[in-house]
Structure 1
Amino acid sequence: MDDIVKDYLHYLVIERGLSENTVKSYRQDIVELVRYLKQQGITDFKDVDPKTILDYMKYMHDNGKARNSVIRFVSSMKKFFKFLIRYHYVINNPMIKVDTPKQANYLPDVLSTQEVDDLLATPDTTDKYGIRDRAILEVMYATGLRVSELVHLKMDNLHLEMGFIQTIGKGDKERIIPIGSEAIKWINNYISNSRSLLLKRRHCDYLFLNAHGGGLSRQSIWQKIKKYVAIAGIKKRVTPHTLRHSFATHILENGADLRVVQELLGHSDISTTQIYTHISHEHLTKAFDKYHPHA
């Protein structure tokens, strides 16, 4: 089974041309399934039937996997078993009889504008790392970049004099994003006073650097945000994506058109963006309940 998985991942990269992050996601789903199958004494994908898949989905649920993770797993397996059928690794496709669970009614956590201000003010900007981290937080909130887009942001993606940056998002789609004066100020501060010290006379195209002069990882960004959230005393569960959610929600609440938000976030389908209208409506309801005398 391990060799078949390798063949499939190779197929995703070479024939499908999928991004590194997408392939990692598929790999995680399949590797976890294979581990489960081996625990059940199943060593061949030919022996996987619909009951096996349903039992594994129950196992995922019982072990605390989110509904959306289970939905992603089913989608991954439908594609994987189509590959196995196409290349004659299996005869029967167990996923034909497995329905995709309904999407969870999930509203992501969003920071208030005051919480954002508190978070942005947390890094110690008297040293090179604090200046870098303040610039990172400012850029994330000002642009709504995904963390994967942030860590791959390069110096030549910056067009600060014209007030925008370039990025390559999901599906290798390029988009142009306006960036505000506050984020520009902190990027320039970082480039002038911090980046060269981190670079240590080496060469690196990436904008944001680690202590060794190389690019930052997604995990390191997550750890930094976790640290600053704790220092700021914010009690919500905050991830790098929370700043993206907050960016979208705040500009929508301040009158931006949903189509504009879709373009800024790089969503190919506006239905993905519509979750932010639900968040905005929830915000309005809370405001009504708080301020209307007859609420």
Structure 2
Amino acid sequence: MMNESDALSVFDGMRTESPASIENYKTVVRRFIKHHPDVYEVTTDEIAQYLEDMLNDGYADKTVDAARTGLIKFFGQLDRDDDPTDSDKLDIWSWYQYTGKTRKTEKKEIIYLEQDEINKLIENLPAPVLRNELIVRLMFETGLRATELCTLKVEDIDTDNRRIDVIGGKGNKDRTVYYDETLDTLLEIWLVDRQGVYVDNTPYLFPTNRSEHISQRRLADVINKGAEKAGIQETLYVDKSGKGRKRVTPHTIRHSFAMACLNNGMPIKFLQELMGHDRMETTEVYLNALDTDVEKSYRRWGPQY
């Protein structure tokens, strides 16, 4: 048997993954060992069944994929007497294929905001308005993930060239994003105002009066309050835990960035680099969303008399 502390310790010293990814893996493992505490004896079939049960219990494909990835990382790090063979590892990774399960192939709806909705959101943000407006506009202009925005450091911003170096993004991948000159004044004022009013001597761009940088939970709360006041928020569905999933979230703004870029004619390869996607297939999901907006696009950009 392995207790939770020992199980999570296998990720100690893992240098190839970002801290956020490691925390996600630990969450997966905590849940898994409640069902299979004897990880030294668990089989590939049991792992496959565990993931299949998650799918049958109504967990989203994305959640099951995250669990599968976390377990692969865990068992890859775990030193077992009966190490699985390469074919066993392939079975774990490709369990849908080997168990006859078929993934959903229908296009998933991408939730995003139009420019006028972004404007409404900005106009209705809670205090501190200066900070929160800069946050939303920066996310919309760069496509930063929530965790990247929260941990963005002042030293990573090149104000002369309007560039931001994203250090240790998802998958521990670095990239560069850009912003427009319309943010110059707002950013300049904030760089002065953040000193003294919030936590002192912090390297992060967005501190609070209690911590070195804004948390993802606080960021989501800011976006939610602004969206509700603007009248653009809604609950899409209620998940298994009873929590309502909202239409407007920090990730919605990232989607909005991607859709705005494509609608304005940006080549998909450039968008992939700006989004920090390893695989082109991940970025192409947004092209599918464009396909669903054919009529809307025609009404907006078609011939006019």
Give the TM bin, normalised by the shorter chain.
0.7 to 0.9
Tell me: CA distance 1:119–1:55, structure 2 relative to 1, closer, same or farther (3 Å).
same
CA displacement at 1:228 relative to structure 2: 1.1
Tell me: CA distance 1:117–1:52, structure 2 relative to 1, closer, same or farther (3 Å).
same
Partner of 2:251: 241
Partner of 1:111: 113
State whether residues 110 and 242 of structure 1, in contact with CA within 8 Å, keep that contact through their aligned partners in structure 2.
yes
Counterpart Cα distance in 2 of 1:145 and 1:107: 20
Counterpart Cα distance in 1 of 2:118 and 2:9: 45
State whether residues 154 and 207 of structure 1, in contact with CA within 8 Å, keep that contact through their aligned partners in structure 2.
yes
Q: CA deviation digits over 1:202-221, x for unaligned, max 9?
A: 21111111123621111211
**1:258 and 2:268 matched:** yes
Partner of 2:80: 88
Q: CA deviation digits over 1:142-184, x for unaligned, max 9?
A: 1111111111211122222322222212344332222112333
Is 70-79 or 265-274 further displaced after alignment? 70-79
Counterpart Cα distance in 1 of 2:89 and 2:104: 18
Q: CA deviation digits over 1:94-144, x for unaligned, max 9?
A: 7654544436643321111111111111125xx6x1111111111111111
Mapping for residues 105-254 of structure 1, pairs under 5 Å: 105-123=107-125, 129-168=128-167, 169-192=169-192, 194-199=193-198, 202-212=200-210, 214-236=212-234, 237-254=247-264
Residue type of the partner of 2:80? H
Whichever structure has more helix as a proportion of its residues is 1
Counterpart Cα distance in 2 of 1:214 and 1:91: 42
State whether residues 138 and 182 of structure 1, in contact with CA within 8 Å, keep that contact through their aligned partners in structure 2.
no
CA displacement at 1:254 relative to structure 2: 0.7
Structure number with the bigger relative contact order (C-alpha 8 A, sep ≥ 6) is 2
Tell me: CA distance 1:224–1:211, structure 2 relative to 1, closer, same or farther (3 Å).
same
Counterpart Cα distance in 2 of 1:184 and 1:157: 15
Residue type of the partner of 1:180? D
5+ residue gaps in structure 2? 97-102, 235-246
Mapping for residues 280-295 of structure 1, pairs under 5 Å: 280-288=290-298
The alignment of Structure 1 onto Structure 2 pairs a total of residues equal to: 278
Residue type of the partner of 1:139? L
Tell me: CA distance 1:49–1:157, structure 2 relative to 1, closer, same or farther (3 Å).
closer
Residue type of the partner of 1:282? T
Counterpart Cα distance in 2 of 1:280 and 1:198: 43
CA displacement at 1:4 relative to structure 2: 4.5
Identity across matched positions, percent: 26
CA displacement at 1:89 relative to structure 2: 4.1
5+ residue gaps in structure 1? 38-42
Partner of 1:64: 58
Counterpart Cα distance in 2 of 1:54 and 1:35: 16
